[in-house]
């Protein structure tokens, strides 16, 4: 059985998750569900990034004394877990960087690197951005604020430990060039390659405890804790059994997909592969950096008061509509602007009009013409125009799988959804063109049976195909088709088959899936 190991970033627990965090999770969950359905043994890991100065400051602000950061993070983590539940994010493991097994792994990796002389003590004289948890050199900032977030930097001059990034620079450049899927999209790969044209500075990987003690202690220098990024990146192997489950680790490492936002690409595409190389481990296969969601073109921030809370959207319009909108509206990789108007347009157009109506019209006809029972799979009249129309619909629906596979494998969620919508639109058009009401009027039962059957089969295929994106709606359509088993047990291969529904089975028409927003 083929395996797939997919990871999300670990979310900082200093603030509540917003739509941007939800985006990464939804993308990971969709890929995970898709490959599971395609027969892969998948493993999706997510979690929380709990150490470092940013979280420490948040703890103090929330009224926790220094030394009680763990109580603070313990109080925040459930909010993340609850939101992931509300968004239907189905992960295999939730890792916290305060898990003892993770901390042990961080120390083990540090020891390996130290024994290879890849870690040395030096003097740090530069800048630090707490909101980004990033070190910057004088040359990079030239008296300006943080190049990433534009906020004020803190000057740091102190003894610290360093990791020899520079030693591995040539190896990394050649690895990126040789492995065309290593950094995606290609324009992000080019950004990293151009960054690597300049010599890499060694990475400062510690903070003295007297200044900041909320972190994993350096095993060879108890007065220091590990720099939060160095600690957090190691989650991808610590949560995969690097120390305690060799069999699992061998099976799943290297990770297939690290899905991240564009702001944290340098950490993932430069520090992380070099850390792994130093530790004698293989680099991940693909790192995909997606774009950012803004609101009216502006970055979401508490001070601007423009944060879109996924919970509000879910309450108003439902989880599936949010999942659909985020993955359909913007090509994965590019930036997007969130607005309620755009959301409602997609909702009323794609979900209520196209998909919702197709389900509703089809099941209404099953009720009206066949007392709610699935009709026999009969061929219509040979060589008729109906036969041509029906073949067109069947071909389009049963060929969907290949398109989905290639688009989702290249992270083109929007393209995958538009391929599904082509089938939905074709089915709606098929109703108009085949005119089942005329067959009913003319008592042409054979053709009527054939039309309704074809529509139901198309709905069956659509319901499997939308499952990775919209698991709740997919299950609802499945149920309306009268299928008792859960949709998560369905396989993608069933979308290539026709006439799988059992004739005579009762369908269960329900209320509209997506009532129009007025």
Q: Which residues bind ligand MSP (CB under 6 A)?
A: 9-12, 20-21, 23-24, 49, 232-233, 235, 260-261, 263-264, 292-293, 300
Closest of 78, 83, 82, 87 to residue 32, by C-alpha:
87
Shortest distance in whole angstroms from residue 511 CB to ligand MSP: 34
The residue number with the shortest CB distance to ligand MSP is 261
Shortest distance in whole angstroms from residue 232 CB to ligand MSP: 4
In the bound state with ligand MSP, the residue whose beta carbon lies nearer, of 107 and 474, is 107
Q: Which residues contact 260 (CB under 8 A, 6 or more apart)?
A: 8, 9, 24, 268, 287, 288, 289, 290
In the bound state with ligand MSP, the residue whose beta carbon lies nearer, of 224 and 293, is 293
Shortest distance in whole angstroms from residue 72 CB to ligand MSP: 16
Q: Which residues contact 5 (CB under 8 A, 6 or more apart)?
A: 42, 43, 45, 240, 252, 253, 254, 255, 256, 257
Classify 258 as helix, strand or coil: strand
In the bound state with ligand MSP, the residue whose beta carbon lies nearer, of 148 and 202, is 148
Tell me how crowded residue 375 is: count the other CB atoms within 10 A of its CB: 20
In the bound state with ligand MSP, the residue whose beta carbon lies nearer, of 48 and 362, is 48
Q: Which residues contact 227 (CB under 8 A, 6 or more apart)?
A: 52, 133, 135, 203, 204, 205, 206, 207, 215
Classify 380 as helix, strand or coil: coil
Shortest distance in whole angstroms from residue 222 CB to ligand MSP: 25
Shortest distance in whole angstroms from residue 401 CB to ligand MSP: 29
Distance of CA 15 to the CA centre of its chain: 20
In the bound state with ligand MSP, the residue whose beta carbon lies nearer, of 101 and 479, is 101
Q: What is the CA radius of gyration of the chain?
A: 26
In the bound state with ligand MSP, the residue whose beta carbon lies nearer, of 37 and 77, is 77
Shortest distance in whole angstroms from residue 313 CB to ligand MSP: 14
- Per DSSP, the residues of 467-484 read TTT-HHHHHHHHHHTT--
Half-sphere exposure of 235 (CA within 13 A, CB side): 28
In the bound state with ligand MSP, the residue whose beta carbon lies nearer, of 12 and 347, is 12
Shortest distance in whole angstroms from residue 139 CB to ligand MSP: 24
């Amino acid at each position: 059985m083929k395996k797939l190991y997919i990871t999300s970033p670990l979310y900082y627990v200093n603030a509540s998750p917003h739509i941007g965090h939800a985006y990464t999770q939804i993308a990971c969950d969709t890929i995970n569900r898709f490959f599971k359905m395609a027969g892969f043994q998948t493993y999706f890991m997510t979690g929380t990034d709990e150490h470092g100065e940013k979280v420490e400051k948040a703890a103090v602000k929330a009224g926790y004394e220094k030394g009680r950061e763990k109580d603070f993070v313990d109080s925040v983590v459930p909010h993340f877990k609850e939101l992931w539940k509300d968004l239907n994010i189905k992960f295999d493991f939730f890792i916290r960087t305060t898990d003892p097994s993770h901390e042990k792994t961080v120390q083990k990796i540090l020891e390996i690197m130290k024994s290879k002389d890849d870690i040395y003590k030096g003097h740090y004289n530069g800048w630090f951005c707490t909101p980004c948890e990033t070190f910057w050199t004088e040359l990079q900032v030239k008296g300006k604020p943080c190049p990433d977030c534009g906020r004020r930097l803190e000057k740091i001059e102190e003894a610290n430990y360093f990791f020899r990034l520079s030693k591995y620079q040539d190896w990394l450049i050649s690895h990126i060039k040789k492995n065309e899927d290593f950094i995606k999209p290609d324009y992000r790969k080019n950004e990293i390659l151009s960054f690597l044209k300049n010599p890499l500075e060694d990475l400062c990987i510690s903070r003295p405890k007297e200044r900041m003690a909320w972190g994993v202690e350096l095993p060879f220098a108890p007065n220091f804790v590990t720099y939060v990024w160095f600690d957090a990146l190691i989650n991808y192997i610590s949560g995969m059994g690097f120390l305690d489950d060799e069999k699992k680790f061998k099976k799943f490492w290297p990770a297939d997909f690290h899905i991240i936002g564009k702001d944290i690409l340098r950490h993932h595409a430069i520090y992380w592969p070099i850390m792994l190389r130093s530790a004698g481990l293989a680099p991940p296969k693909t790192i995909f950096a997606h774009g950012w969601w803004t609101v009216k073109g502006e970055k979401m921030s508490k001070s601007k008061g423009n944060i879109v809370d996924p919970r509000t959207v879910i309450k108003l319009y439902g989880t599936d509509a949010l999942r659909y909108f985020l993955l359909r509206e913007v090509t994965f990789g590019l930036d997007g602007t969130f607005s309620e108007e755009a959301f409602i347009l997609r909702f009323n157009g794609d979900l209520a009009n196209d998909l919702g109506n197709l389900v509703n019209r089809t099941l209404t006809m099953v009720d009206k013409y066949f007392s709610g029972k699935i009709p026999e799979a009969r061929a219509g009249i040979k060589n008729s125009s109906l036969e041509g129309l029906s073949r067109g619909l069947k071909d389009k629906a049963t060929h969907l799988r290949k398109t989905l596979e290639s688009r989702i494998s290249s992270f083109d969620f929007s393209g995958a959804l538009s391929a599904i919508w082509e089938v939905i639109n074709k089915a709606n058009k098929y109703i108009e063109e085949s005119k089942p009401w005329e067959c009913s009027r003319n008592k042409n039962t054979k053709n009527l049976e054939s039309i309704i059957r074809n529509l139901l089969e198309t709905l069956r295929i659509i319901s499997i195909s939308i499952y990775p994106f919209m698991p709740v709606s997919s299950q609802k359509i499945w149920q309306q088709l009268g299928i008792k088993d859960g949709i998560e047990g369905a396989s993608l291969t069933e979308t290539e088959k026709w006439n799988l529904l059992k004739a005579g089975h009762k369908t269960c028409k329900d209320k509209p899936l997506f009532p129009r927003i007025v």
